[in-house]
Amino acid sequence: MSAVVRRLGLQALKTTGLGDVRFHDLRHTGNTLAATGGATTRELMQRMGHSSVRAALIYQHLVNGRDHAIAAHVDEQIRKVRPGEPGDASGT
């Protein structure tokens, strides 16, 4: 990172009262949001400038386990189309 970017970044953090936030924290947050927004491993690698998948997988672990949330969303959409069908005990 250039000295100018670093100086301006530190000044902005101080002005906003976020002096304890590091540039890496902002990078991590941005990539975490990208991963939860559906960015692929390749897209994360490109954003971060990495040639291996290792770093990208760190961010994608946050979206692992979303199967339950996805299934619940699908179930909700089905119920909107066929509300209260008799004999539908499981809802799935």
Under DSSP, the state recorded for 62 is G
What is the rounded CA–CA span in Å between residue 27 and residue 12? 15
Give how far Cα 26 sits from Cα of 5, 34, 53, 84, Å.
14, 12, 20, 46
What range defines the domain where residue 57 resides?
22-81
Report pLDDT digits (tens) over 5-55: 888 888 888 898 887 888 788 888 888 888 888 888 889 889 888 888 887
Residue 45 lies in a domain: yes
Q: Give the number of other CB atoms < 10 A from CB of residue 56.
A: 22
What total of structural domains would you count in the chain? 1
31 inside domain: yes
Does residue 48 sit within a domain?
A: yes
In a domain, 60, yes or no: yes
Q: Fill in the amino acid letter for 40.
A: T
pTM, whole model, 2 decimals? 0.51
90 lies in some domain: no
Dig out the tokens for 25 from the structure. Answer: 């924290």
pLDDT band at residue 1 using 50, 70 and 90 as cut-offs: low
Residue 87 has what pLDDT? 52
